[in-house]
Amino acid sequence: MTQLVQLQGIKESLEEAGYSVFAISNDPVEILADFASKHDISFPLLSDNDSAVIREFGIMNQLIRPDEGQSMRWYGIPYPGTYYVDTNMVVTDKDFHQHHARRASGSSVLARALGQEIEVHSEAESIDVSGQINVSVGLSEPALQLEVVSQLLIDIEIPEGMHAYASGAPDQFARLSVEVEADGIRIGDVSWPASEPMNTLGIDEEVPVYKGRIRASLPITVTSDVIRLGHDIPETLQVSIAVGFQLCDDYECFLPERIEATLSCALDRLVEPEGLSTYADRVEAIEAETGKQVR
């Protein structure tokens, strides 16, 4: 699964920062051994064969009945999620997604564990566009992966002595905004940094503004729309970004403007599950090979 391969990618950075990483599922050891050797996974893939730990945590998927998908071991799977624990096994943070197919990306797990801001990945495509403001756009991952939530990071540089209006500013000002569009992606809400209050000419109350360099980030996820049957999987996705703003200094305001850019995002090789129908076959093959009862 993509998520485990991404975790392998951040394992070293996590360990350097003093965090070890563990993955837990109800897969039998043999299935995990098979997967680990195929994808070079070196961190522990723990086998909670009877879902005892999953039940202990209280996160067993209750929507699956015991009689469903028995050959696939559906019964006993956890709701997928991540716990961040300190050295006393106390939860310091956690991350569960309501949708079973959605995952946090490797870089967001790393940033969250380390309590750092997500950075633009140096191997990812990035672009700079200049106008009244400088805008640079990049991705948190070298490439987007299906149903993995990455971050689109938009750095905006407002010239010295100028300010742009933030959310909450009066309607007569065009507030800083970001619009993102592309086929086959899902975009989440923009996270803006905190604005600062400012006394503006001609207005009695303080107005929320941004100055200097600020970063907006948006969750970006490739949806299965890109891999519909009968279509080739594209190697890149063109993502259009538009930043709207209005700049003012202490005396006057410029007209509202828009800066547009197109980011070419690489689509990563998908680590596709070997398929629902082949699971039972694979278990049988492993049983024949090892002489062990896997199910």
Partner 1 sequence: MSQTENQYYDEFGFYSPQELTRATRRQPEEGFHTGPEVGEVVPSIALPDQNGHLINVAESLGSNGGVVVFHRSAFW
The string of DSSP letters for 183-222 reads: TTEEE-PPB-PPPEEEE-TT-SSEEEEE-SEEEEEEEEEE
DSSP string covering 128-176? EEESSSEEEEEESSSSB-BTEEEEEEEEEEPPTT-EEEPTTS-TTSPBP
For residues 64 and 127, which CB has a smaller minimum distance to partner 1 in the complex? 64
Q: Which is nearer to partner 1, 152 or 283 (CB)?
A: 283
CB of residue 164 vs partner 1: minimum separation in angstroms? 33
**Least distance CB 230 / partner 1 (angstroms):** 12
Q: Least distance in Å: CB of 193 to partner 1?
A: 23
Residue pointed to by tokens 């090892």: 290
Nearer to partner 1 among residue 19 and residue 192 (C-beta): 19
CB of 270 to partner 1, least distance (A): 14
197 versus 273: smaller Cβ distance to partner 1: 273
Q: Which strand (E) or helix (H) includes residue 88?
A: none
Nearest-approach distance from CB 89 to partner 1, in angstroms: 5
Closer of 261 and 271 to partner 1 (Cβ) = 271
Q: Which is nearer to partner 1, 46 or 190 (CB)?
A: 46
Q: Which two tokens stand for residue 44?
A: 């522990």
Structural contact between residues 135 and 259, judged by C-beta atoms closer than 8 angstroms: yes
Residues 125 and 139 sit within 8 Å (Cβ to Cβ): yes
**HSE of 210 in the Cβ direction (CA atoms, 13 Å)?**
27
CB of 289 to partner 1, least distance (A): 15
Residue 261 beta carbon to partner 1: minimum distance, rounded to whole angstroms: 25
Distance CA 145, CA 147 (A): 6
Distance, in Å, from the CA atom of 39 to the CA atom of 14, rounded to the nearest integer, reads 19
Return the number of the residue (64 or 201) whose C-beta is nearest partner 1. Answer: 64
> Rounded to 5 degrees, what angle do the CA atoms 107, 232, 222 make?
30
